[in-house]
Amino acid sequence: MSLNVKDLHYTLAKQTLLQDINFQAKKGEVVGIIGPNGAGKSTLLKHIAAILPIKKEQIMLDGKDISKLKPREISRHIAYLSQFASFPQISVLESLELGRRSYSGMMLSQLDKEMISQSIEEFDLHKLLHRSIDTLSGGERQKVMIASAMLQEPDVLLLDEPISHLDPKNQLEMLSAIHKVTYEKNLVTLVVLHDLQHAIHYCDSLLMLKLGEIKYHIKTDMLEEKMLEELFDIQTKLYYVSGHIFVYYGHHH
């Protein structure tokens, strides 16, 4: 399984938001999308999810042209979690059940119910099941929406700032879960992250965007200070401790 994006270009109100976007992401790989505000990170995910228009053969999933698929077919292949998702007034359990609707319709099978129960266990959602999503904290909502996305059994998982509302402990747990499920289920995972330290530690490769262009697409262990300095226009220093990379901005420590 591989995701191929070819010659993607997007202009809105005479402003170019994406230009000459070309890259490939493979199964079992977490690709971290990083870059300054306005770089086009969220816009790129929306195109891959077919929320924004795409042309013929611009986005191919294992040889399938996404532009030719119907919305329900896309939902079976691609799960997308928006940074600014709106939340309907439904319970947590109903939200999890929606994750299986593209397969089963209105009547859930025994397999669907077993998968939902497993998801409740994995994401520790027992105490939230009968609460309305709009009454949850930001962090609780994020966990529910990611759990629901995973129940779609997607080939591609698109996450736009999935840890933005989580405390440090839950950030680490969520990123570990995303990394684990990507490997176990052979997903192609693209995740937008503003915390570069998390991107370095939990992503296999980095797609570095600036002003709608890909500046670099590298394996994470190939990261260099000059790349980050070009990307963020700030002095950067990388430190290597016990095989891990740590990044500091603006001055040396």
What percent of the chain is predicted at pLDDT more than 70? 96
Mean pLDDT calculated for residue range 114-123: 91
For residue 180, what pLDDT is reported?
87
Beta bridge partners of 159: 81, 191
Q: Please state which of the ranges 8-12, 68-72, 113-117 shows the lowest mean pLDDT.
A: 68-72
DSSP string for 97-160 = HHTTHHHHTTS--HHHHHHHHHHHHHTT-GGGTTSBGGGS-HHHHHHHHHHHHHTT--SEEEEE
Same domain, yes or no: 136 and 93: yes
Same domain, yes or no: 243 and 185: no
Same domain, yes or no: 179 and 231: no
pLDDT tens-digit series, residues 139-191: 788 888 888 888 888 899 999 998 877 888 888 888 888 888 899 889 999 99
The residues, ordered by sequence, that sit 6+ positions from 183 with a Cβ below 8 Å of its Cβ are 28
Burial (CB < 10 A; 0-12, 13-18, 19+), residue 130, is: exposed
Same domain, yes or no: 164 and 234: no
Same domain, yes or no: 89 and 186: yes
For residue 142, what pLDDT is reported?
80
For the chain, what is the mean pLDDT? 89
Q: Tell me, what CATH number does 96's domain have?
A: 3.40.50.300
Mean pLDDT calculated for residue range 57-67: 90
Residue bearing the bigger pLDDT, 210 or 245: 210
Spacing of C-alpha 253 from chain mean position: 32
Task: Give percent helix, percent strand, percent coil of the chain, each to the nearest 5.
Answer: 40, 30, 30
Same domain, yes or no: 106 and 128: yes
Q: Taking 80 as the threshold, does the pLDDT of residue 87 lie above it?
A: no
Task: Please name the residue that has the structure tokens 């986005």.
Answer: 59
Same domain, yes or no: 238 and 134: no
Print the domain residue range for 242: 224-253
pLDDT tens-digit series, residues 129-153: 999 988 888 778 888 888 888 888 8
Q: Model-level pTM greater than 0.95?
A: no
Same domain, yes or no: 57 and 110: yes
For residue 231, what pLDDT is reported?
96
Same domain, yes or no: 245 and 183: no
Same domain, yes or no: 186 and 152: yes
Same domain, yes or no: 29 and 85: yes
- C-beta atoms surrounding 23 within 10 Å: 16
Number of domains in the chain: 2
- Please give the single-letter amino acid code of residue 106: M
DSSP character at residue 187? -
Confidence band of 208 (pLDDT split at 50, 70, 90): very high
Phi, psi of 155 (to 5 degrees): -85, -30
pLDDT tens-digit series, residues 15-47: 899 999 999 999 999 999 999 999 999 999 999
- Which string of b and e fits 47-86 if b means at least 16 CB within 10 Å? bbbbebebeeebbbbeeeebeebeeeebbebbbbbbeeee
CB 114, CB 92: distance < 8 Å = no
Residue 142, both tokens: 């994020």
Same domain, yes or no: 144 and 184: yes
